[in-house]
Amino acid sequence: MNDLSKSLLKTSPSGNKNFISVNDVNDINALVQKALSYKSDPFKDKLLGQNKRVGCLFLNPSMRTRLSTQIAAQNLGMEAIVFNVGAEGWALEFEEGVIMNGSSVEHIKDAAPVLGKYFDILAIRTFPSLKNRDEDYSEQYIKQFVKYAGIPIISLESATLHPLQSLADLITIQEFYKVPPPPEGVGGRLKVVLTWAPHIKPLPQCVANSFSQWINAWDKTDFIITHPEGYELDSQFTKGATVIFNQKEALENADFVYIKNWSSYKKYGKILCTDETWMLNNKKLEQTNNAKVMHCLPVRRNIELRDEVLDGAYSIVTQQASNRVWAAQAVLSELCPHPLKGG
Ligand code: CP
């Protein structure tokens, strides 16, 4: 059973635990190990979530996040109710003091407390607008849920971060640490490279921000980010990483290559480069240390990544996506001791 005194998530000043970023975690390694223990024995805590309910609110589409969270809850004996707010709910207003004479029908100040009475935990997915950087990076949507719901909040991806994805990414990398001998390199640490890839649409920086934040905080690997000039991420997330504009140089002796597109943070939401020579192929992989290839999915084949790589022996994207279940289960299990609500 869970031991409150050994909680792996921090308690916020409001008295709740949330899972919004790596900063909510007390012990990343222990959380990774807990997730792996669920992978070995998915039903070992099948009564932990009994009589508890998680509400999964989606303001945007999803496959992996939605299903893995539902499965994780079920493994713990917890009920998960999914509500596609974006498609089926009232349009929510998040701005304080606004005159609601536009398209929004219900204010978050009214909706979130109701959801806080229906559920024990709320999990929310939102996306950035990619139009107003200050607004997106203020994380207003998820912060309003934290402020007004009164129960633990899990981010299923927010405007700037995707913490359950990042936890699954670390779990996946950790699984390869079991294989001896330790790799060559600085201090015998694995070399992980996050490389930008082209895309036809402007995508959020969430996955890249979040992966950078988690892998830096984990501090078990040498971490390099490579991208064309102009695609620098917000330094609050990349602090500690080495940034190299030359992809060939960055890939040298890499043990893991994480491919992801993101739109520009500097020229916010803009596509500055469509150069397909940034797309990873088998030739480029030759200069790595037989690197495992990661991508959070969904991926646009032959835009972001060549078929030959995705279908090749070094792709671990399915393993990575399957680990989303154990990431969600570890986090949900940490939120189970939340006392039952009154009134
Ligand atoms: N990686 C990820 O979050 O996938 P979905 O958008 O399908 O949830």
Which of 3-7, 253-257, 269-273 is predicted least confidently?
A: 3-7
Tell which one of 60, 62, 322 to mutate to probe ligand 1, the residue whose CB is within 8 A of the most ligand atoms. 62
Mean pLDDT of 262-269: 98
Residue pair 195/250 in contact by the 8 Å Cβ criterion: yes
Mean pLDDT of 110-124: 98
Whole-number pLDDT of residue 262 = 98
CA of 165 to the centre of ligand 1 (A): 8
Residue 178 has pLDDT above 70, yes or no: no
Cβ(100) to ligand 1 under 6 A?
Answer: no
The pTM (predicted TM-score) of the whole model is 0.94
> What sign does the CA torsion over 242, 243, 244, 249 have?
positive
Residue 14 pLDDT level (bands cut at 50, 70, 90): confident
Residue pair 292/35 in contact by the 8 Å Cβ criterion: no
Nearest to 115, CA basis, from 153, 141, 79, 78: 153
- pLDDT, one tens digit per residue, over 190-217 is 999 999 999 999 999 999 999 999 999 9
| Tokens matching residue 208 | 């890249």
Q: How far is the CA of 98 from the CAs of 93, 104, 107, 159, in angstroms?
A: 8, 10, 9, 21
CA of 64 to the centre of ligand 1 (A): 5
Whole-number pLDDT of residue 2 = 45
In the chain, % of residues over pLDDT 70: 93
Omega into 113 within 30° of 0, i.e. cis?
A: no
- pLDDT, one tens digit per residue, over 268-305 is 999 999 999 999 999 999 999 999 999 999 999 999 99
CA of 145 to the centre of ligand 1 (A): 21
Residue 3 has pLDDT above 80, yes or no: no
- pLDDT, one tens digit per residue, over 28-37 is 999 999 999 9
User: How far is the C-alpha of 189 from the C-alpha of 287, rounded, in Å?
Assistant: 18
| Tokens matching residue 303 | 């835009």
Tell which one of 57, 58, 63, 207 to mutate to probe ligand 1, the residue whose CB is within 8 A of the most ligand atoms. 63
Residue pair 172/316 in contact by the 8 Å Cβ criterion: yes
Nearest to 17, CA basis, from 111, 158, 120, 112: 120
Residue 186 has pLDDT above 50, yes or no: no
Whole-number pLDDT of residue 343 = 36
Residue 39 has pLDDT above 50, yes or no: yes
In the chain, % of residues over pLDDT 90: 90
Residue 334 has pLDDT above 50, yes or no: yes
Residue 189 pLDDT level (bands cut at 50, 70, 90): confident
- pLDDT, one tens digit per residue, over 119-146 is 999 999 999 999 999 999 999 999 999 9
Question: Going by CA atoms, what residue is nearest to atom 6 of ligand 1?
Answer: 62
Q: Is residue 121 classed exposed, middle or buried when 0-12, 13-18 and 19+ CB atoms within 10 A define those classes?
A: buried
Whole-number pLDDT of residue 184 = 52
Residue 338 has pLDDT above 70, yes or no: no
Tell which one of 65, 82, 162 to mutate to probe ligand 1, the residue whose CB is within 8 A of the most ligand atoms. 65
